[in-house]
Structure 1
Amino acid sequence: MALFISLCCVFLNLKILHYKITKNNYKIHTLLILNIILIFIYILALRGPFKHVAINVQNYSFSEFKVVNDIMLNPIMAFAWAHKQYKEEQKIPSIDDNTAKEIQSKLFPYIDISQNNPIADTIKPSIFLNIMESFGLEIDEYSSKETNFLGELKQHFEEDFLFKRFLSSSNGTIPSLANLLFISPFSNISTSKFQTIKLPLTPIEIYKKAGYKVIFISAGNGSWQNIKEYLKKQGVDEIIDENSIINSYPQAKTTQNGYGISDEFLYKKAYEILQDNPYKTLIIALTISNHPPYLDYNIKINHDQIPNELLKLLPYDHKKQLAILKAYTYANNEFGKFLSKIKQSKLKDKIIIAATGDHRTRDLKNNLYNTKAFSYSVPFYLYIPKVLQYNINYNKNRVGSHKDIFPTLYNISLNNIEYISIGGRNMLGLTKNKKLEFGINDALWIDNQGVYTANKGYFFESNTSIKNTNQEIILDKYHKEFQELYYKLNWWQLNKRLNN
C-alpha cells in the first residue's frame, strides 16, 4: 500500500512538472476561496478527522508492526509530539536523598513488607485484576429496581468485598496504568526516553520473582502508547490484544469501535486462560466497551425511568444519554457474567479476582459542589475464595485509592515480600498507621474526615460516603503540605529506580 501511494505521488509530481501553464480567467475571490478549501483539505489530511480524532499521540498506532505505524505520521505531527514529550521529560522533578528521608519522616516510609501468610506458601492462587474503562460510581448511585446500571455485577458487589470510598490515581487510562503497574507518576514513561529501562520492584517483577506467569490482556490495541513493547521490557510473559482475540473469535471483529472490541470476548479469552492456569498466574486485563464512540449494545433502558438528577449530569442529546448508560450497563453486566461463570466452575476456590475503574466515567459533568471527591471515585472490588482468606479485617467504609490495590493483593496472595507502597496498604488488614488511611488522585486527596483540594478542605456528609458538605476544614500544617510532599516523594522513588 505504501509503495502504491508512493508511485501515485511520483506520477502526480511528474504530471505537475510537465504541465504547460495556461492563463486562467478566474476572478481573485474565486481563487482565494479555492485556495482556502485546498488548505483546509490539506490540514484535514495532516491531522485526521475532526469528529473522531483518529490520529493523536495516544492512538496513532493501529498495526502490530512498528514500521507501518512509523510511516503513518507526517513529519510535522511527529516532530510536534516529540518536542512536547521532550519538554515534559525536562520538567521531571528531582529531589536529593536527604530531602526524601525528611519527607518520609513526616509522612511514611516508601517501602513496606507484606504479612506472614502461611496459606500463600501452600496455595499459589491465580489472580485476575480487571481495570475497567471509565468505571466511576456516579451512574450506579442512581440504580434502582427499574434501572439497574450494574446488571449481573450487582449481586457480586453485595456478596464480596467492596470499597466505594475509593479514588483512581489519575483521570486518564495511561496515567492510571502507569501508576498501578509501574508505580510511575510519569504517565508517558512507555513512550519516553526511559522506555528501554526495566524498572525494579514493579508488581510485574514482584509476582515474577514469586514464580508467577504474568499475562496482559486488552480489548484494545497492544501498540497503543507503545504499551505492548514496554510491558515486554518489564517482564510480562504474554500480551494479548484485540488482534489476538479476533484471531480466536472472528465474530469479535464486528464489535470494533475504533478503540477496541467488546468486553465479552476479553472475558471469554480470560476464562480459557484461567482454566489452563488455575495457579501461579497473574492476569491484568484492560476493558474498552465503556469508551466512546459507544456501540448500540443490546441493553434495555427506558428513558422515562432515568432519574432527572442523572440526566442533568449527562449530555443533552437523548440518543447519547442512552448510549452512555447502555455502554456502562453492558460493561458491568459482562463482568458480572464472568464472575458468575467463575463461581459456578471448578475455579471458584483457586482464583482471586480484583477490579477497579481506570478513572471517572467519561461524558459526565463534574459537580464541584458536593461531589468533589465522589466525582473521581471508582470501586475496588475483591472476590477471595474462603480457603484463601487469611487474617481478613473488612471495613467497607475504609478510604483508599489505586495505591492500595497491589499492597492488598500482595498481602492475600504472597508471603513476606518487600514492595514499594508510597502510602499504599492492605485494605483488608488492621489499621497500623493512621497516616496511611487516605486516598489520592491527581486532582485531590481524601482521608477519613474529608476531601482536600487547592489548599482547602471540606468535611464529608458521613463516615459512609465521600460526598462533601460545604463546611470547610481548618487545615493544619500536615494537611497543607501533604499533597506537595507526596508528589515529591513519588517522583523521587521513580527517579531512583530509573537511576535518573
Structure 2
Amino acid sequence: MYKNLSYLIKHSAIILVILFFVRICFAIAFVPMSIISSNLTVLPRLLFNSLRFDVQVVCYVLILPTVLTFVFAALRKPWTERVLSRFRRLYFSIVCALLLAISGIDMGFYANFNSHINLTFFDFFNEGPMSLIQTIWEEYHCVYEAIAFLLILLPILLLIRRIELDKSSARNALHSASRQQPSRLKVIKLSATILLYIVFLVIGLRGSVWRFPLQIEDTFVSNQKPLNDLVPNAIYMLKKAYKEKNNAFKIAKTDDLLHEYKFKSLQEALDVYTDGKVKMAKNDTLTALQHALFEEVGDSLKQPQPNIVIIYSESWSNYLFNLQQKDAEMYFGLERHFKDDLLFRNFQSVQNGTVASLENLYVSTPFPRFFASAYRFKTLPTSIALPFKASNYTTTFMSGMDAAWENCAEALVHQQFDAIYDKFSLLKDYPHATYNSIGVYDEYLFQALLDRLQKPSKKRQMIAVMTTTNHPPFEFPKDLKLPPLPESFYAKKCFAEHNRKVLDKYLTGFRYYNKVLNEFLNRFKASAAAKNTILIITGDHNVRSILDYDAVDKRYEHSVPLYIYLPTYLRKEAYNKLTNRWGSHDDILATLAPFAFHDTKYFKMGHNLLDTTVPDSTYYSANVDQIESVPTYRKEAERLTAARNLLRQVYFGLYWRTEQ
C-alpha cells in the first residue's frame, strides 16, 4: 500500500512539472518581461495561486487510481500489483498526453483571442468543424507543432515507464509482508501516511484551506492581464468553459413568448408600448423593435456635459433607514445630503441579485447569467457604454472586488468600457488600503473615485461603481467604531432574523456603508468635482434574510433608495417636487440621457424621473417579482411592462440570430 501511494506521488510530480513547463512557455510567449520586472511583488502570490490550480488538477487525476489502490489493497492478491502497475502506466500516459494537448490548444486559442479557452471554444463543434480544421491546417505549423508535441511527450512516457519498472520489488515486498505480521510501528506509519494522503487529496480538490474554495477570482493577482492569465491552467479554463456552456440560456420562440405575455401579436405589444407610434413592416421585425426600444438623441444639449457617476451600493436597503431613532444611528449624517439633493424612496431594484443588477444596468439583457454566456464576448448595441462613448465620454468600471468575479472584467471590456479598476488597481495605487475576502473596503474605493474625478481629463467621465463591504461574510476594518445599538433595537418586530450575532453583522454592514458614504459626500461636495458631476447612488438589491415582510410593508421587499446629486448649473426647483414618483433601475439611464447624450441613441428601458412635463401618476416601478405604482395605474403598468419584456426578448433573439 505504501509503495503504491509513493508511485501515485511520483506520477503527480510529473504532472506538476508538465503544468509548470507549459506555464513557462506561456510566459515566454505572451508575457512581456517589462511587465514581470515591474510587478515583482506579486510574483509570490502568482506562483502560490498557480500551484493551487495545478495541485487541484493533480488531485482530480488521482481520484480514480487512488480508489483502485484502496480496493486492490483490501483484496491482498498477488496479481493486484501487476494489474495496478499496468493501469497506472496506461492511465498516466494518457493523462499526460491529454494535458499537453489541451495546454497546446489553449496556447493556440490565446494567441488568436487573447484569452484562455472560454465558452466560444465549443463553437468549433457547432459551426462546421471540417472547415475550421482546414483553416487550422493552413494557418498553423501543424507538422512542426506535432513534432514538438511528440518530442516533449516521449521522455514523459519513458519516465512513467521507468517509475513502473519497480513493480517486481513491489511484488516481493507484498509477498514478504504477507508472510509476516506487520509491527505496530509499521501499522502506525502506514495509517499516518494514508491519513496525510487523504487530507492532501481533499484539500487539493477544494484548492483551499480557507473559507472559500478555489475559484475564478483567484486567477487575479494584479492589475495586469498577462500576469493574471499566467495563473490558471488550461484544464481549469476548459472545465470553466464547459460549465458556462451548460448554464447558457436558450432563446424562446416568438409564439411561446406571445403566449407567456398574453399578446395576440407583436404589433399588439408595439401598440401598447409605443401608443401606436411604431408599425411593423412586413419581414422587418428587427427594425420595428429598434424604433420601439431605442431612443434617438439629437444635438439639443444647451449646457456643458457633466461627469456621470453611477454607484451600485451592495445590499443598500431602503427600509432600514426607517429604523433611525435617537439612540440608534442609521444615517450617519446622510440626512443632510438627502435633504439638500434628490432622494427617491418609491424605488426598486429591477433584479434581486448583484450580478443580475449589474447586467441589467450595463447591457439591459433579459436573460440571466449573460456574463457567463458566449455572448459576453460581443459588444451588444444595448451596452450602457456606447451612448456615453458616442457622446465623448470615457467609460470606467470601479470596484473594490476582484473583477474576475462573475467574469465582470472580461465581459465589460467587450462592452466597450475603457478601463476596469478593481481590487488590484486599488492596492497598487493605495498600498495602505486594507481589504477582506470580498474586496478592498469601500472607504478606499471612494477615495480612489474622488481622486479620479479630480484628475484633469480631456473628456468627461462616466464611472460605474460597485461597492462590496456590506456583503457576507461581513468582515469590517479592524479600526471600525460605530455607536452601539440599544438592546431593545434587536427585538423589533420587523426582523425575521433573531440570532443576535447574525443580525448585528447585517446592521453593521449597512451602518458602515452609510458612514463612509457620508464621509465621501462631504469630501466630494467640498471638491472641484462637485461643480460638474452628477452622482447617482442606489442599491444593487435590498438587504436579504433579516426583514419579515409579514410585519413590513410589502412595498419595501425589493426597495432600495435612489439618491441624485446634480451640480448647481443643472438644478431646478421643480425637481424637488418629483421625488415621490415610482421608479426602478430601468429609469436611471433615461434620467441621465438629457444631461449627457447628444447625436446618439440608447436602449431606453425606463422613463426620465426628472421630466417635469409628465404626470407623476404615470410612473411605475418594475421589479422582476413585483410592480409598484399608484393603485389606479397598476394594471396599465403591468401591461406596459409585459409588452416591454416581450419586445426586448424578441429583439435580443433576433439580434443574436443575425449575429451568428
**Contact 1:126–1:280, Cα closer than 8 Å, also in 2:** yes
SS at match of 1:354: strand
Any idea what the Cα deviations from partners look like across 1:47-104, whole Å, max 9, x if unmatched?
56799443567x56544523524558497x6477235313xx2255656999444212
Q: Which has the higher strand share?
A: 1
Deviation for aligned residue 1:245: 0.3
Once residues 66 and 188 of structure 1 are traced to their aligned partners in structure 2, the CA distance between those partners, rounded to angstroms, is: 23
Equivalence map 1:134-173=2 (5 Å)? 134-173=315-354
Aligned AA for 2:445?
L
SS at match of 1:329: helix
Distance 1:303 1:193, change over 3 A: same
User: What is the aligned partner in structure 2 of residue 84 from structure 1?
Assistant: 246
Distance 1:318 1:435, change over 3 A: closer
Distance 1:25 1:308, change over 3 A: same
Deviation for aligned residue 1:187: 2.9
User: What is the aligned partner in structure 2 of residue 459 from structure 1?
Assistant: none
Once residues 52 and 449 of structure 1 are traced to their aligned partners in structure 2, the CA distance between those partners, rounded to angstroms, is: 47
Q: 220-229 or 302-311: which moved more?
A: 302-311
User: What is the aligned partner in structure 2 of residue 447 from structure 1?
Assistant: 629
SS at match of 1:107: helix
Once residues 441 and 633 of structure 2 are traced to their aligned partners in structure 1, the CA distance between those partners, rounded to angstroms, is: 36
Q: 2:358 aligns with which of 168, 177, 180?
A: 177
Deviation for aligned residue 1:335: 1.6
Q: How many residues align?
A: 463
Once residues 554 and 199 of structure 2 are traced to their aligned partners in structure 1, the CA distance between those partners, rounded to angstroms, is: 41
**Contact 2:317–2:541, Cα closer than 8 Å, also in 1:** yes
Deviation for aligned residue 1:45: 4.8
SS at match of 1:495: helix
Q: 1:411 aligns with which of 557, 572, 594?
A: 594
Q: 166-175 or 484-493: which moved more?
A: 484-493
User: Structure 2 regions of 5+ residues with no counterpart?
Assistant: 1-15, 21-50, 67-87, 89-159, 184-189, 259-263, 275-291
Deviation for aligned residue 1:216: 1.0
Distance 1:344 1:162, change over 3 A: same
**Contact 1:60–1:224, Cα closer than 8 Å, also in 2:** no
User: What is the aligned partner in structure 2 of residue 470 from structure 1?
Assistant: none
Deviation for aligned residue 1:425: 0.9
Query: Is residue 473 of structure 2 the alignment partner of residue 293 of structure 1?
Result: yes
Any idea what the Cα deviations from partners look like across 1:255-313, whole Å, max 9, x if unmatched?
32211110111111111111114661111111101011112441324242552465752
User: What is the aligned partner in structure 1 of residue 435 from structure 2?
Assistant: 256
Equivalence map 1:186-205=2 (5 Å)? 186-205=367-386
Distance 1:91 1:321, change over 3 A: same
Equivalence map 1:38-77=2 (5 Å)? 45-47=204-206, 52-55=211-214, 59=217, 61-63=219-221, 64=225, 65-70=228-233, 73=236
Aligned AA for 1:276?
K
Aligned AA for 1:397?
N
**Contact 2:618–2:633, Cα closer than 8 Å, also in 1:** no
Distance 1:232 1:315, change over 3 A: same
Deviation for aligned residue 1:42: 5.4
User: What is the aligned partner in structure 1 of residue 293 from structure 2?
Assistant: 110
Larger RCO, structure (CA 8 Å, separation 6 or more): 1
SS at match of 1:144: coil
**Contact 2:387–2:597, Cα closer than 8 Å, also in 1:** no
Once residues 171 and 140 of structure 1 are traced to their aligned partners in structure 2, the CA distance between those partners, rounded to angstroms, is: 19
**Contact 1:175–1:185, Cα closer than 8 Å, also in 2:** no
Once residues 358 and 328 of structure 1 are traced to their aligned partners in structure 2, the CA distance between those partners, rounded to angstroms, is: 13
Query: Is residue 601 of structure 2 the alignment partner of residue 386 of structure 1?
Result: no
User: What is the aligned partner in structure 1 of residue 403 from structure 2?
Assistant: 222
User: What is the aligned partner in structure 2 of residue 274 from structure 1?
Assistant: 453
SS at match of 2:517: helix
Aligned AA for 1:387?
Y
Distance 1:43 1:392, change over 3 A: farther
User: What is the aligned partner in structure 2 of residue 323 from structure 1?
Assistant: 505
SS at match of 1:139: helix
Distance 1:295 1:486, change over 3 A: same
Q: 1:400 aligns with which of 573, 580, 583?
A: 583
Distance 1:370 1:349, change over 3 A: same
Q: What's the RMSD between the two structures over aligned residues?
A: 4.0
Deviation for aligned residue 1:153: 2.5
SS at match of 2:602: strand
User: What is the aligned partner in structure 1 of residue 388 from structure 2?
Assistant: 207
Equivalence map 1:11-30=2 (5 Å)? 20-21=173-174, 22=177
Structure number, greater radius of gyration: 2
Query: Is residue 523 of structure 2 the alignment partner of residue 360 of structure 1?
Result: no
Distance 1:434 1:145, change over 3 A: closer
**Contact 1:128–1:354, Cα closer than 8 Å, also in 2:** yes
**Contact 2:629–2:637, Cα closer than 8 Å, also in 1:** no
Deviation for aligned residue 1:388: 2.0
Once residues 446 and 397 of structure 2 are traced to their aligned partners in structure 1, the CA distance between those partners, rounded to angstroms, is: 13
Q: 1:119 aligns with which of 299, 302, 309?
A: 302
SS at match of 1:282: strand
Deviation for aligned residue 1:35: 10
User: Structure 1 regions of 5+ residues with no counterpart?
Assistant: 453-475
Once residues 106 and 331 of structure 1 are traced to their aligned partners in structure 2, the CA distance between those partners, rounded to angstroms, is: 41
Once residues 277 and 187 of structure 1 are traced to their aligned partners in structure 2, the CA distance between those partners, rounded to angstroms, is: 38
Deviation for aligned residue 1:156: 0.9
